[in-house]
Amino acid sequence: MANTIYSEQEIESTRTRIVLSIWEPKESKEPKAVIVFTPATMVHPLMYQPLLSGFAERGLVVVGVHPVGHGKSPRDVKRYTIKDIVQNGRDAVTYAIERYSLPIIVMGASQGGLVTAAIAAEDERVAAAFPNCVILAELPESAGLSHFPKWMWRMHRPMKALFRFFALLFPDIKIPLRFYLEYKRVCPNRDFWRMASKDSISLRHYSLYFLSSLFTTHFTGLTDGSIRCPLYLVADSGDGLFTQSYVKNVFERLQAPHKEMITFHFNDHMFMVNHPEAVCEKLTDTIISVIGNKLYTAPYTVPQVKG
C-alpha cells in the first residue's frame, strides 16, 4: 500500500450510517475513475484489500462499501434487506460523485455482484458495471446455489412463498452460512476459511428476514433494459458455486447496451480474494479501455437518481 492512501468515511444510508473504505492513488497520480465496490456474503471490503489497493496503485480510486450491519458499519439496524444494500451502494455512488466528479464504475463480488447489477439498473449515473455472479431469483436453477436437494428446484415457487411466510413469523432467527451454502463449493482453500474465522468484523449469520429478501426479490431491471451502461459479467470457469451453465443462463438474460463476459480459470468462487493480482490487472485494463474509449453514456456528473 506504499503507493496508495487509505481512509474511512461514514455516510448516512438506510436509516443509519455506513462506513466506506477508500483507497486513493498517491497525489502524483491523477485518478481516472472511481470504483464503488460491494463485497460478498457477510464480509466487508477489507477482506479484498490486496485487490482494491491494487486498483488504486494503477490510478483508480476505490470506495468500498461496508453495507448496513456489516463490517465496520454500526449494528443498530437489526432488520435490513438486499434492497437496503443496493441503496447503500447508490448512496456510495452519490458520495463518490460529489467528492471526485469522475466516471463511476460499480463492481461487486458474489452477493455483491447482484447488488452491482441492481445499482446499474436503478442508477443512470453509473458509467460501467462489473458484477461477479448475479442471482436471478426467478430462475428455478437459483435454488441450486444452495446445498438443498435438486428435486426442490422444481418447487421453487412454493418454497419462496414458504420462505416469506416463515420470515414474517420468525424474522430474527439466525441462519449461519453453512446452513444454506457448502463451504467447499464457496472455496476449497482451507486457509481462506481459517482467515475468515479469525476476522472479527465479518458476520457469522444472516437473519431469516434478510435471507428471505435475498432469495425472493426479483430485480426486474436486470432483464428489462433498465441497465443503460456497459456490463461486464466477471466469472470463473471452475466456480464450484456458480456453475458455467448457470452463469451463461444468467448472462443471456441480462440486458445492457453492451455486455461481455470476463472469465478467469482459477477453479475458485472466491478468486477475487485469492488471486488479486491477476484479477486486478485484467479488470483495470478493461476499465481503462471503457473510460478511454468513452463507451459509457451515463451522466455521471449529474447527481440525480431514479426513484
pLDDT in tens, 189-229: 777 878 788 899 999 999 999 999 998 899 999 999 999 99
The Cα–Cα gap between 202 and 66 comes to 10
The Cα–Cα gap between 271 and 257 comes to 27
The Cα–Cα gap between 263 and 273 comes to 16
C-alpha cell at 284: 483495470
In a domain, 184, yes or no: no
Q: What is the DSSP string of 121-145?
A: HH-TTEEEEEEE----TTSGGGGGG
Write down the pLDDT at residue 4. Answer: 92
CB 20 within 8 A of CB 92: yes
- Domain extent for 67: 4-135+218-292
CB 10 within 8 A of CB 23: no
CB 128 within 8 A of CB 259: no
Question: Which strand ranges, in their side-by-side order, compose the sheet holding 231-236?
Answer: 4-13, 16-25, 61-66, 34-38, 104-109, 126-132, 231-236, 259-264
In a domain, 271, yes or no: yes
The Cα–Cα gap between 236 and 234 comes to 7
CB 164 within 8 A of CB 216: yes
Q: What is the four-CA torsion angle of 238, 148, 215, 264, rounded to 10 degrees?
A: 0
In a domain, 297, yes or no: no
In a domain, 92, yes or no: yes
Q: What is the pTM of this model?
A: 0.92
The Cα–Cα gap between 111 and 41 comes to 6
In a domain, 212, yes or no: no
C-alpha cell at 91: 448512496
The Cα–Cα gap between 132 and 139 comes to 18
Q: In one letter, which amino acid is 8?
A: E
Q: What is the four-CA torsion angle of 258, 37, 105, 250, rounded to 10 degrees?
A: 10
Q: Report the percentage of the chain scoring pLDDT > 70.
A: 91
3-state SS, residue 299: coil
Write down the pLDDT at residue 297. Answer: 52
In a domain, 235, yes or no: yes
pLDDT greater than 60 at residue 264: yes
Q: What is the CATH number of the domain that holds 63?
A: 3.40.50.1820
C-alpha cell at 183: 463451504
pLDDT band (50, 70, 90) for residue 292: confident
In a domain, 66, yes or no: yes
Tens of pLDDT, residues 141-164: 887 777 665 555 566 677 778 778
> Which segment of 128-137, 148-157, 251-260 scores lowest on mean pLDDT?
148-157
C-alpha cell at 300: 455521471
In a domain, 170, yes or no: no
When divided into structural domains, the chain yields a total of: 1
Tens of pLDDT, residues 79-88: 999 999 999 9
